[in-house]
C-alpha cells in the first residue's frame, strides 16, 4: 500500500477574476453541474483547490477537473469522487478550508500497489 497526498491553495480574489473573465466556458470546463449550486467565488475556489489537490496526489493530467466531483456528505464533510482513474484507491479523504482571502484543500488517499 502507498499513501499519497496533494494540497492546493487558491486566492479567492484571483479566482473571482478568473470567473469574470472566463464566464460560463470557464465554469463548465472546471466544474460539474452539481458543484455549481453555489456560484460564489469563495465556494468555487474551495472546490477548485480540492480538485487540484486530487490531481496532484493521483498524478492526474493537468486540467482533468471534470473527472473529479466534489460533494458534501450529510454532515457537510467534503467528499471526492474520481472517475477514469487507474489508481486502486482503497480509501481517501478531502478537506477544504477558507481564511484570509484564500481557500486551501488537502487530499489524501491510500492506494493498493
* pLDDT beyond 70 at 3: yes
Tell me the per-residue pLDDT of 35-44, one tens digit each, with 9 for 90 and over: 999 999 999 9
Cell numbers for 1, please give them: 500500500
SS3 content of the chain, % helix, strand, coil (to 5): 40, 40, 25
* pLDDT beyond 80 at 8: yes
Contact (Cβ atoms closer than 8 angstroms) between residue 88 and residue 39: no
pLDDT (0 to 100) of residue 61: 81
| Ordered domains of the chain (ranges, CATH) | 2-112 (3.90.470.20)
Element (H, E) at 6: strand 2-11
Amino acid at each position: 500500500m502507498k499513501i499519497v497526498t496533494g494540497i492546493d491553495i487558491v486566492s479567492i480574489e484571483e479566482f473571482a477574476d478568473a470567473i469574470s473573465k472566463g464566464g460560463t466556458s470557464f465554469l463548465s470546463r472546471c466544474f460539474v453541474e452539481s458543484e455549481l449550486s453555489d456560484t460564489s467565488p469563495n465556494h468555487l475556489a474551495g472546490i477548485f483547490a480540492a480538485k487540484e489537490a486530487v490531481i496532484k496526489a493521483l498524478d492526474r493530467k493537468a486540467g482533468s477537473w471534470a473527472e473529479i466531483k466534489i460533494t458534501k456528505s450529510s454532515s457537510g464533510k467534503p467528499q471526492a469522487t474520481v472517475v477514469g482513474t487507474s489508481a486502486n484507491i482503497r480509501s481517501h479523504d478531502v478537506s477544504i478550508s477558507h481564511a484570509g482571502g484564500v481557500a486551501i484543500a488537502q487530499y489524501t488517499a491510500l492506494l493498493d500497489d
